[in-house]
Amino acid sequence: MEINRRFSHEVREAMRREIENAGGNEVFFTGIIDADGKIISVNVGSRGNSDSVPVNFSESRTASVLIHNHPGGNLHPSDADLIVASDASEKAQGFYIVNNDVSEVYVVMEPIKPVITKKLDCEETSVYLSKNGTLAKISPDFEERPSQIELVKEISRAFNDDAIGVFEAGTGVGKSFAYLVPSMLWAAQNKERVVISTGTINLQQQLSEKDIPLAEKIIGKKIKAVLVKGRQNYVCLRRLSEVGTERDLFSDETEIFDKINDWAKTSATGSKSDLSFMPPENLWQRVNSEADACMGMRCKFREKCFVMRVRKEAADANILVVNHHLLFADIESRMNGAGYDDTAVLPPYKRIIFDEAHGIEDAATSFFSNAINRFRILKQLNLLYRQRKASSTGYVYTLSALSRIEDKSDLVKNEIEATKNAVSHLEEEASFILGNEFNIRLFEGTAPRFSSVISAVSLLQKHLATVTGLTREIIEGIDEDDLDNSVIYEAKAVLRRLDDMVATCQNFFSWEEHPESVFWIQAKRLPPAMAKSVENPFFYEFVQTPLDIAPMMNKGVYEPLKTVVCTSATISISRSFDFWKKRVGISFVEKERVKSGEFASPFPYEKNMFFAVPSDAPFPDNENFQSFIENSIVSLIQAAGGKTLVLFTAYDSLRHACDTARTRLRLSGITVLRQGEDDRFRLLSQFKEDVSSVLFATDSFWEGVDVPGESLSLVIIVKMPFGVPSDPVFAARSEQIAKKGGFPFMELSVPQAVIKFRQGFGRLIRRGDDTGAVVALDRRIIEKSYGRMFTQSVPKCEIVYKPLKDIIERVGMRLDSPS
């Protein structure tokens, strides 16, 4: 019988009693179904009369099925019933009508059967990477890593418990496989998509090309994994075709354009990374795919579209590999209305792995910042109208030719010229207020100095808004039959970008209404070729940056998603995760939902390296510090025979020290490389291949440098990497802590410096047989009380605190005899 298939015997009996107790009148019930769709429990929500019963919406929120009885025995739904049933369907709820003795049922709306989650067996999952597992059988040099096995178990529990996981895995633990194995097993057995987000392209490619294929062999299952890049990485065939009709207008790059055009005809991916050369950025931006300018189903190239092809692949993938920037673009779209159940930038998902999680705050801060400068503004304006030799060109002329309204192209042209003048005026005001500084923050203390800048921003905003308004009037006059013209899509994309700039200008001059943001100006150097022909070698950028990304992370990531696993080699400070959790919003999450743990590196640091600090070094604020580090660096490099990475916190200090080293090492056969003299990839390649070379670097080279073996045997850390007090965002965040009664130095400066120091320290030992030394020339790390936070946060090894000459001798001995 239908009634027996829909209701358990116990539920039917309970409902009969409740209806009888209500005098045979209508009773509203809420029911819970099992995996077979049978109602296994009910609650009474409300009681009515013989003709109607109120719906208890509070009680119905968590129900699978809404049920009520018709005392007369006619089970067909009334109009009121159908309205309630329609509302229920939107919440995936069923709607049933029964008679008074619950012997018959009329199903108005079918319920959605609950998805039964198949949890991971933590022990079985960890076996795959144990000495008894598949990896041991297929890998000839396999060594069991106890810390990796424990990490697998913890990540598996995070999946099972819908938890937030914060796991620090030291170098050599094998964290990639520790999260890939449970992620792939979970995706396969639960038909759920898992997103893996990384901070670097190198790790994305390693995961896709090497680690995931091996992980498939380890678990014995074929898993569909797709590497998803931002659409700007793919060529747009429509734009490529249209730019081809104007190829003679950029004669300097015609040959490169032809190469891209030929490549696109045979490329399987359309991805810029598959080109055999690096195209000029300004040319690539004219032919790459952009969401704003996409014609979608109206595009005649849609069947061949590389972006659509990747999206189709991603739509049924088990694993998506993305970078943090693309993930935040997706999260922003979902927070702005796309929701979490449908495709936004990415297909829907409920579980994320953040690898290289130490970079989440910086990645989110960068993504959610808005910036305008001369080049960004002029690029968009020149697409609408530009004077090229004796002719004028731009979208505005095509739009005007299509539009029925009177020709406004001259008005747009004049307003664009006025806008360009407003940009020049704004730059003059920015140059004046900055003087010899490279940045300045807009806040209560500097607001009086900003009055002329604010006026200039307001003027720019006014002209930009007029340009967009006039252009939209032209577009509104175009007949519907002509709306398929691609120029309209390109022009609308320009207008949307200009609208964003208008909004940034608006926020800048109403900055007091946005306490959640930091507003600042920075001077940036012009490219050398441009700087030669102008008096001022700088251009100016106006930036709005989020003060605190923690609330956004909680609202956009931790609350709506089920499992979020964050892993890195450097997210704890003195064995505590509290600082990092607070910065990225995990402190908002209920403590019961957060799992955390440290998983130590298996590498023998105590045997293979030592950490030294010269006891006779002057403090960094001493006028002799620069000359001390220049002499020390040369002596240490000579003792090591090259093979050295020197990490700085300031480029000027790096430049002077590098010049000194080149002069004094010119006859030694040691090649001195300097960041900025070549691109990162070529610099690192040369550093690896030339065993006796040394590399002077700053900032980005503190992390992501992976040079195992003899080519890197000595890391010199010149100064403790404290944030620059004058940095506008750092200063604003410090003030925020102080206003709450905190101590910014200990709550922000030191913890940030510890994490970066750990990154630099970690460049030395990249595999089990690496040996060498880390030398820090800043003795505050030993002599200041906060120095313990640094030494307690790096792997345990011998610490040498002696005069520089003793350290130089020790370096020479260590590198001559590594055992």
Per-residue pLDDT tens over the stretch 193-224: 999 999 887 788 899 999 999 999 999 999 99
Whether residue 533 is predicted with pLDDT greater than 80 in this model: the reply is no
Task: Judge whether 468 and 498 are in contact, CB under 8 Å.
Answer: yes
Mean pLDDT of 474-489: 88
| Lowest-confidence segment of 249-253, 469-473, 522-526 by average pLDDT | 249-253
Whether residue 36 is predicted with pLDDT greater than 90 in this model: the reply is no
816 pLDDT band (50/70/90 cuts)?
A: low
pTM: 0.85
Cα–Cα distance, 348 to 339 (Å, whole number): 9
- Angle at the Cα of 708 from the Cα atoms of 703 and 714, rounded to 5 degrees: 75
Please report the pLDDT score of residue 531 as a whole number: 75
Residue 482, Cβ density class (10 Å: 0-12 exposed, 13-18 middle, ≥19 buried) = middle
Q: Which residues contact 293 (CB under 8 A, 6 or more apart)?
A: 236, 239, 489, 490, 492, 493
114 pLDDT band (50/70/90 cuts)?
A: confident
**Judging by DSSP bridges, how do beta strands 538-546 and 370-373 pair with one another?**
antiparallel
Please report the pLDDT score of residue 550 as a whole number: 96
Bridge partners of residue 563, in order along the sequence:
351
Cα–Cα distance, 88 to 61 (Å, whole number): 10
Tell me the three state secondary structure of residue 521: strand
Mean pLDDT of 231-237: 92
Whole-number mean pLDDT of the chain?
93
374 pLDDT band (50/70/90 cuts)?
A: very high
Mean pLDDT of 572-589: 95
| Lowest-confidence segment of 1-5, 52-56, 192-196 by average pLDDT | 1-5
Three-state SS sequence of 734-784 = HHHHHHCCCCHHHHHHHHHHHHHHHHHHCCCCCCCCCCEEEEECCCHHHHC
Whether residue 819 is predicted with pLDDT greater than 90 in this model: the reply is no
Mean pLDDT of 150-169: 98
Task: Judge whether 613 and 784 are in contact, CB under 8 Å.
Answer: no
Whether residue 87 is predicted with pLDDT greater than 50 in this model: the reply is yes
Cα–Cα distance, 300 to 293 (Å, whole number): 14
Task: Judge whether 757 and 546 are in contact, CB under 8 Å.
Answer: no
Mean pLDDT of 510-536: 89
Q: In what order do the strands lie in the sheet with 594-599?
A: 225-227, 319-323, 194-198, 351-355, 563-568, 164-169, 594-599
Which two three-digit tokens encode residue 764? 């030395």
Please report the pLDDT score of residue 89 as a whole number: 86
Task: Judge whether 595 and 744 are in contact, CB under 8 Å.
Answer: no
Please report the pLDDT score of residue 250 as a whole number: 56
Neighbours of 800 (CB within 10 A): 17
Element (H, E) at 328: helix 324-333
Please report the pLDDT score of residue 818 as a whole number: 42
Q: Which residues contact 204 (CB under 8 A, 6 or more apart)?
A: 198, 227, 321, 322, 323
Q: At what angle do helices 374-384 and 395-402 cross, to 10 degrees?
A: 40
Task: Judge whether 166 and 595 are in contact, CB under 8 Å.
Answer: yes
Element (H, E) at 33: strand 27-33
Mean pLDDT of 761-777: 94
Please report the pLDDT score of residue 191 as a whole number: 92
- Angle at the Cα of 87 from the Cα atoms of 85 and 88, rounded to 5 degrees: 60
Residue 147, Cβ density class (10 Å: 0-12 exposed, 13-18 middle, ≥19 buried) = buried
Whether residue 817 is predicted with pLDDT greater than 60 in this model: the reply is no
Mean pLDDT of 588-613: 95
Question: How far, in Å, are 180, 268, 294, 321, 810 from residue 318 at the CA level?
Answer: 12, 22, 27, 10, 52
Q: Taking the chain, what is the end-to-end CA distance rounded to the nearest angstrom?
A: 80
Cα–Cα distance, 316 to 191 (Å, whole number): 10
Please report the pLDDT score of residue 700 as a whole number: 85
- Tell me what percent of the residues of the chain surpass a pLDDT of 70: 99
Phi, psi of 802 (to 5 degrees): -140, 170
Mean pLDDT of 441-452: 95
Whether residue 425 is predicted with pLDDT greater than 80 in this model: the reply is yes
| Lowest-confidence segment of 287-296, 638-647, 741-750, 810-819 by average pLDDT | 810-819
Please give the DSSP secondary-structure letter assigned to residue 107.
E
pLDDT tens per residue, range 688-718: 999 999 999 998 899 888 899 889 999 999 9
Q: Which residues contact 44 (CB under 8 A, 6 or more apart)?
A: 18, 27, 28, 29
Tell me the three state secondary structure of residue 540: strand
Mean pLDDT of 73-101: 92
Please report the pLDDT score of residue 650 as a whole number: 93
Please report the pLDDT score of residue 629 as a whole number: 97
Rg from Cα positions in the chain: 32
Bridge partners of residue 167, in order along the sequence:
567, 597
**Judging by DSSP bridges, how do beta strands 225-227 and 370-373 pair with one another?**
unpaired
481 pLDDT band (50/70/90 cuts)?
A: confident
Task: Judge whether 569 and 598 are in contact, CB under 8 Å.
Answer: no
Bridge partners of residue 558, in order along the sequence:
none
Owner of token pair 């990249």: 766
Cα–Cα distance, 349 to 340 (Å, whole number): 7
Task: Judge whether 384 and 467 are in contact, CB under 8 Å.
Answer: yes
Count of residues in the chain: 819
